[in-house]
Amino acid sequence: MHYNYSMSYLEHYNGLPVLITGGLGFIGSNLAHRLAALGARVTLVDNLLPDTGWHPANIAGLEGRIRVIIGDVGDEDVAREAVAGQAIIFNLAGSISHIDSMRQPLMDLDANARSHLVLLEAVRQHRPDAVVVYAGTRQQYGAPQYLPVDEAHRNLPNDINGINKLAGEWYHRIYHRVYGLKTCSLRLTNTYGPRQLIRHPRQGFIGWFVRQAILGETITVYGDGQQRRDLVAIDDAIEAFLRAGVMEAAWGNIFNLGGEPATLLSIARLCVEIAGQGDVALVPWPAERAKIDIGDVYCSYARAQKTLGWQPRVALRTGLENMIAFYRRHADLYLQQPDPAALLTW
């Protein structure tokens, strides 16, 4: 693929065959909605890993407009079928729970390392001209040595999830360097928005904060609540993926998708304010979480801004208002365990 600079980057997607791994999850499904609206020919593949973010409701409204493969890209046959004919592969498959990775390290290894190696082999052998955009994570850095964290910061993960995500990213980098595959990695921070998992708190704090606020419950914040995090609204994250998918300058590169930092206490209070109910309480750190906490962390997005023309644009209040409004309408669906049978018609 060659980038035509006379076109908007969005115009490139009209009619383009695109694969999203982990496509029934939070980011993947939002990306699918955006790509379908742009006229792309979208295929999703998802293995429906228990307790992750997939949900049939995430692709409501896309019936007849996208193709869905239920299967694991760690299976060679599934990977080969999924990559066939694709121009761009947004590789979002995997598990993002830090707590789960410590409880089930071999599951995390399969989901975040081995499966990506299988996928890359399928691309190398059957679709070597495809662009592959990998969803990395700022968790790969571990505890920051300086702030904001940039891409030159050393990687010293603080949990199994960070180690396996780092391995997954390095597979993509090696396949670019050795085999010439057109890969890049976007290191995500705390992405939030509609279609995010809110059934349990093991996949990020923001979905749980929103859940507790809309249910009028008490949001518990650990310690003094002054730990700073940067949040990126889902619409901003999707824009970064769309840019990286068609811009040659992205190939072989890594990019932080950072945002403006805010304290956890201020984020919790903002959720309560917007929801108009609930409250906030400070509680001591649980031992299990204290062992993997990394203190303040927020990332520089200067490289993404310079190379991709990307920067976060959605203000935190606006993003949370959109998210809370979504769950006020759809909470009953997203508070329930998803039913795989609902996907049989796909």
pLDDT digits (tens, 9 = 90+) for 159-190: 999 999 999 999 999 999 999 999 999 999 99
Give the list of residues 6+ apart from residue 254 with CB closer than 8 angstroms, or none: 136, 151, 169, 173, 184, 185, 186, 187
Note whether residue 279 is domain-resident.
Answer: no
Tokens 């795989």, residue located: 340
CA atoms within 13 A on the CB side of 35: 33
The Cα–Cα gap between 3 and 130 comes to 13
Interval 93-116 mean pLDDT: 91
Confidence of residue 1 (pLDDT cuts 50, 70, 90): low
pLDDT at 326: 98
pLDDT at 37 over 80: yes
Confidence of residue 6 (pLDDT cuts 50, 70, 90): low
Nearest CA to 140 out of 128, 149, 127, 131 is that of 149
The Cα–Cα gap between 291 and 91 comes to 30
Q: Is there a contact between 278 and 272 (Cβ–Cβ < 8 Å)?
A: yes
pLDDT at 78 over 90: yes
Least confident of 99-108, 130-139, 234-243: 99-108
Q: What is the DSSP letter of 102?
A: H
Tokens 């749980």, residue located: 208
Verdict on whether the full-model pTM lies above 0.85: yes
pLDDT at 255: 98
What the block records as the tokens of 188 is: 């995500």
Q: Is there a contact between 34 and 9 (Cβ–Cβ < 8 Å)?
A: no
- pLDDT tens across 282-303, in order? 999 887 666 667 789 999 999 9
What the block records as the tokens of 116 is: 């990506």
Note whether residue 75 is domain-resident.
Answer: yes
pLDDT at 108 over 60: yes
Tokens 């030159």, residue located: 152
The Cα–Cα gap between 276 and 172 comes to 45
The Cα–Cα gap between 279 and 27 comes to 28
Note whether residue 216 is domain-resident.
Answer: no
pLDDT at 188: 97
Interval 220-245 mean pLDDT: 96
The overall average pLDDT reported for the chain is: 94
Interval 121-136 mean pLDDT: 98
Least confident of 3-7, 104-108, 191-195, 321-325: 3-7
pLDDT at 73: 97
CA atoms within 13 A on the CB side of 343: 22
Helices (DSSP H) in the chain: which residue ranges? Answer: 26-37, 76-83, 98-103, 105-109, 115-126, 160-179, 205-214, 234-246, 264-275, 287-290, 302-308, 316-334
pLDDT at 180: 98
The number of distinct structural domains making up the chain is 1
Q: Is there a contact between 247 and 240 (Cβ–Cβ < 8 Å)?
A: no
Q: DSSP per residue over 229-251, as a string?
A: EEEEEHHHHHHHHHHHHH-GGGT
Confidence of residue 346 (pLDDT cuts 50, 70, 90): confident
Note whether residue 17 is domain-resident.
Answer: yes
Interval 228-250 mean pLDDT: 97
Note whether residue 83 is domain-resident.
Answer: yes
Nearest CA to 115 out of 135, 139, 143 is that of 135
Note whether residue 24 is domain-resident.
Answer: yes
Q: Which domain holds residue 171?
A: 11-195+232-259+297-313+336-343
Note whether residue 90 is domain-resident.
Answer: yes
CA atoms within 13 A on the CB side of 281: 9
What the block records as the tokens of 214 is: 């809309």
The Cα–Cα gap between 268 and 37 comes to 33
Nearest CA to 334 out of 35, 60, 37 is that of 60
Note whether residue 211 is domain-resident.
Answer: no
Widest CA span in the chain:
55
pLDDT at 4 over 80: no
Residues counted in the chain: 346
pLDDT at 3: 57
Residue 19: which CATH number? 3.40.50.720
Q: Is there a contact between 133 and 22 (Cβ–Cβ < 8 Å)?
A: no
pLDDT at 98: 81
pLDDT at 232 over 70: yes
